[in-house]
Amino acid sequence: MASINLIEAFQEFKDAENIDRPTMMKVVEDVFKTLLRKKYGSDENFDVIVNAEKGDLEIIRRRMIVEDGQVEDPLAQIAYSDATRIEPDFEVGEELYQEIDLYDFGRRAILAAKQTLASRISDLKKNVLAKKYGDRTGEIISAEVYQVWKKEILLLDEEGNELILPKSEQIPQDYFKKGENIRAVVKKVDMKNNNPVIILSRTSPDFLAKLLEIEVPEIFDGLIVIKKIVRDPGERAKVAVESYDDRIDPVGACVGMKGSRIHGIVRELKNENIDVINWTSNTQLLLQRSLTPAKITSMELDNENKHASVYLKPDQVSLAIGRRGVNIKLACELTGYEIDVYRDTEDEVEEFDIDLEEFSDEIEPWVIDELKRVGCDTGRSVLALSPEELERRTDLEKETIAEVRKVLQEEFQKE
């Protein structure tokens, strides 16, 4: 019996994990039943027997022996005289089992079957891979850097499967070399040209959530719940947590003794500052906590329009806004409120200041009106905000803001 060298094809099946034996047998059977239908028009009277260990198969043809001249269906019946030529002891009414030599199908048909089989195996592997990583979406995995390109990094998992870490999903400070092991979270599985593409991420909030779950047993056990995470990757993150056990301080548990639990995560995230705060349904308190490390003096809330006006001492304003406005941006994302920051000067020793109207000969009236609209009605109140914050809160161009600040600074330097 010819095995037609199917060993390699079967070996691929055995090497592909998670492809179970019944599935393997069914695929091989389907491929050769297709071959039978092409040659004989039907596969009803044929049995395909697969021997996966040896890497070969047998095809058995079943026909009923009838009297000569009474053959009505050549596929299901055989004349007595033809049967006795195969085996003299046969009698009418018996069933004849005859092995089909695969070479009878012809070389081209056999090659086509092998190609079909290889294609089916490949499709099964793709489906298994897509399902495996589809089920692991949101989980952290470790993989080895195989190739570094400008727009993405190609990684290999422990089974040699290819994974992609796009540039957009890397922390800005990330720098990896070939052979290095890195951790990332499975973001999604895309299908391109019928091939699964596993996309990883190190910028996703899920990555930080899973790192916290690994480092903080109380989160893993469900005693502490992460309510929300917002991130500016590599710069700052805010994590709101809540405890279901009154005896557990959620912030203290996440940070650890002298920051022991959070330090490892900070290093993994390339020194990203992580603010862990207590979640609360009290909007005013949540806003106050979200602006950590700044301390708020007072605030005015417009719950209908989701807007908050926050007043702070002058030395706290820059802390609330943060470098490049990151702190206030994350606070807005965490609370869902648009937050405007103002200086609270009530408790200060009165500092020399000048009303913006006094500069009307050097600053155009519409520019003054725009600054007043966001609460900046004096020279020092404008200078207390960074150019980036002024640009964010007003409709003024960078050049206009720079010119205004220059005029004001020169005036106060004279004084």
Chain centroid, CA 186 distance in Å:
4
pLDDT at residue 349, rounded to an integer: 41
pLDDT at residue 415, rounded to an integer: 52
pTM for the predicted model, two decimal places: 0.63
Stretch 92-116: mean pLDDT, rounded?
A: 76
Choose the CATH number for 136-203 among 3.30.70.940, 3.40.1440.10, 3.10.129.10, 2.40.50.140.
2.40.50.140
Stretch 277-296: mean pLDDT, rounded?
A: 91
Q: Which pLDDT band holds residue 348 (cuts at 50, 70, 90)?
A: very low
Question: Where do the structural domains in the chain lie, given as residue ranges?
Answer: 7-130, 136-203, 280-348, 356-414
How many CA atoms, within 13 angstroms, populate the side-chain half-sphere of residue 61?
17
Q: Report the mean per-residue pLDDT for the chain.
A: 84
Stretch 78-97: mean pLDDT, rounded?
A: 81
Q: Which residue has the higher pLDDT, 176 or 38?
A: 176
pLDDT at residue 3, rounded to an integer: 45
95-100 and 56-66 as β-strands: parallel, antiparallel, unpaired? antiparallel
Q: What percent of the chain has pLDDT over 90?
A: 40
- Name the most confidently modeled range: 78-87, 91-100, 149-158: 149-158
pLDDT at residue 18, rounded to an integer: 55
pLDDT at residue 315, rounded to an integer: 81
Contact 281, 293 (CB under 8 A): no
Q: Render pLDDT for 56-70 as a digit per residue (tens, 0 to 9).
A: 677 887 888 888 878
Lowest mean pLDDT among 67-81, 105-119, 235-249: 105-119
162-166 and 195-201 as β-strands: parallel, antiparallel, unpaired? parallel
pLDDT over threshold 60, residue 271: yes
Q: Which residue has the higher pLDDT, 31 or 253?
A: 253
Q: Which pLDDT band holds residue 346 (cuts at 50, 70, 90)?
A: low
pLDDT at residue 4, rounded to an integer: 47
Stretch 170-183: mean pLDDT, rounded?
A: 93
pLDDT at residue 267, rounded to an integer: 92
Q: Which residue has the higher pLDDT, 340 or 323?
A: 340
Contact 321, 389 (CB under 8 A): yes
For 119-223, strand residue ranges (E) read 140-148, 152-156, 162-166, 181-192, 195-201
Q: Which pLDDT band holds residue 52 (cuts at 50, 70, 90)?
A: low
pLDDT at residue 27, rounded to an integer: 75
Q: What CA–CA distances, in Å, run from 217 to 211, 213, 253, 301?
A: 11, 7, 9, 37
Stretch 218-236: mean pLDDT, rounded?
A: 94
Q: Render pLDDT for 308-320 as a digit per residue (tens, 0 to 9).
A: 999 988 888 888 8
In CATH, 7-130 is 3.30.1480.10: yes
Class of domain 280-348: alpha beta
pLDDT at residue 70, rounded to an integer: 81
pLDDT at residue 344, rounded to an integer: 77
Stretch 354-379: mean pLDDT, rounded?
A: 82
Closest CA to 206 of 138, 271, 143: 138
Q: Which pLDDT band holds residue 350 (cuts at 50, 70, 90)?
A: very low
Largest CA distance in the chain: 125
End-to-end Cα, the chain, rounded Å:
106
